Chain A
Amino acid sequence: MLLSVKGLSAHYGRVQALSSVDIDAPEGSIVTLIGANGAGKSTFMMAVSGVLRSISGEIEYDGRRIDGLPSDEIVRLGLSQCPEGRRVWPGMTVLENLEMGAFQVGDATLVRDRLMRVYAHFPILEQRSAQLAGSLSGGEQQMLAIGRALMSGPRLLMLDEPSLGLAPIVVEHLVEIIREIRNSGTTIILVEQNAFMALGLADAAYVLETGRVALSGKASELLKNDMVRKSYLGV
């Protein structure tokens, strides 16, 4: 198990956003979290990344506890997150955004290699490299956010609604890229509004309801589950 979360609870002030959640991500797999708005998916990712500090429970990554570690330490261990809503730095150029994604990487040739790989995935970013990120279109910013998360060279990549705002053709392309990233050995946790796409891609899936795991299993089995079909696939 690359990531193993046990009994994770999280709260914002008095609002309980996660209650005793257990989620596992085996090395090399794609795991998806699905759930309605406010179910706690983003909260889960922020807790694992060490940004949200008011948590309890155990988060084990690569055999060691990481709950309580500072966020930069967690990135150094190989966990990276592309957050919901893009959050690129609008006043910095595309290139600077990508460079900062590799903030912890000391080796300049490694940064160069990764940059080339990101440009290969998203050629538009290379064309726009000198432009301020704030002047990109929404879809371009989403590509930049994904590219930035890849720059640290993660072993575990968490993508929070990466397809948001992308045109259908680009979403297809994104699916290919996610597969490619996984095939190159990176484990992926994926949150998606598009549950069809997510379940099609993933090996395992968890359904979150108001901060609890309501259902979990193989993605292919959840695709056939009546409750999932009714609530999340609309069929």
Chain B
Amino acid sequence: MLMVFLQQALNGIILGCIYALIALGLSLIFGILEVANFAHGEFYMLGAFMALFSMSGLGVSFFPALLIAMIGMGIIGAIIERAVFRPIVGKPLINSMLLSFGLSTALANLALLLFGADPQKIESGLADYHLRFFGLHLTAERLMVLVVGVALVTLLAWFIQSTRTGKAMRAVSQDRVAAQLAGINVSRIYTVTFAISGALAAAAGTMVGAMFFVSPEMGFSVTLKCFIIIALGGFGKIRGVIVAAVMIGLAESLGGGFISYAYKDAYPFLLLVLLFMLKPQGLTGGSGR
């Protein structure tokens, strides 16, 4: 029983890393542009397809494919920011909600048309190596997901905390007009934000495509879960979002293992309702980033 619990907890943490990658990007976009991107799950889906086709089409191996997907979705994210979101920055939230919902549907259907509905798998070549420790079981593939996930989240946190561009991103999210007056090119910060978020989503999609599979509709439930995560984590707070992502991953994995796998997508929502009842100010409370 304890072993099953620990095994499910480990899987939950890995899932949480994936969610953190997607939710952090969503949270950055929300905090900096003040728009809601309901097409974020489609960034993740398209990233996964990009990696898949890099491997099958260009014949590259897994890690170069991951890199190609991140760069590719970074560029597409930047283009989408300029073309779709830039005109509605500063307008009421309903504008971006409707627009991105439309974008989400369009991208998912385009993928369906071009790539077909059949789930496909990304072969990382690491799934056949098994690690055992303290009675727990982990494939090298899942270990890779854990390592890459933690590395990317750490890199992002460092970037935002310490680099000039990262500080400018924080400045824009805290007071846009003051950022303009300081000579920060706010439009460029918007583009960078979408590029980073797109790249992180692509990394998550690629790794999920390796652990599970890639399909045009894989983005839908992820977008909703990640909105739950940023609501739980306190909007715009990196640490809060990471904690919330791991909690959602754990809830899904443990709920799936101990209650019923059939409801796995419902546990995050239950957790949200519970937390809003118990801690309405969010996980990390008032202060912090």
Contact = CB atoms under 8 A, between A and B. Distances in A.
A49 B184 contact: no
Contacts of A88: 175, 178
A75 B178 contact: no
B182 A101 contact: yes
B84 interface: no
Contacts of A46: 177
Contact of B178 (A72, A87, A91, A152): A87
A78 B164 CA distance: 20
B56 interface: no
Contacts of A104: 183
Nearest to A77: B183
A103 interface: yes
A129 to B, nearest CB: 15
B185 interface: yes
A104 B181 CA distance: 11
B185 A70 contact: yes
Contacts of B183: 71-72, 75-76, 103-104, 152
Interface in A78-105: 80-81, 83, 87-92, 96, 99-101, 103-104
Contacts of A103: 164, 168, 182-184
Contacts of B170: 89, 91-92
Contacts of A91: 170, 174, 289
A111 to B, nearest CB: 11
Give the most central of A46, A49, A100: most B CB within 10 Å: A100
B52 to A, nearest CB: 39
Nearest to A46: B177
Interface in A33-85: 46, 49-51, 70-72, 75-76, 80-81, 83
Interface in B51-87: none
A208 B87 CA distance: 34
Interface in B139-196: 164, 167-168, 170-171, 174-175, 177-187
Interface in A95-129: 96, 99-101, 103-104
A100 B167 contact: yes
Interface residues of B, number: 19
A153 to B, nearest CB: 11
Contact of B175 (A70, A72, A87, A96): A87
Contact of A83 (B177, B184, B187, B289): B177
B218 to A, nearest CB: 34
Interface string B245-289: 000000000000000000000000000000000000000000001
B184 to A, nearest CB: 5
B178 A89 contact: yes
A104 B184 CA distance: 7
Nearest to A89: B174
Contacts of B179: 89, 100
B181 A83 contact: yes
Contact of B174 (A49, A51, A90): A90
Interface of A: 46, 49-51, 70-72, 75-76, 80-81, 83, 87-92, 96, 99-101, 103-104, 148-149, 152
30 contacts: A51-B180, A70-B185, A71-B181, A72-B184, A75-B181, A75-B183, A80-B181, A83-B177, A87-B177, A87-B181, A88-B175, A88-B178, A89-B175, A89-B178, A89-B179, A91-B170, A91-B174, A91-B289, A92-B170, A96-B167, A99-B167, A100-B167, A100-B171, A100-B179, A100-B182, A100-B184, A101-B182, A103-B164, A103-B182, A152-B182
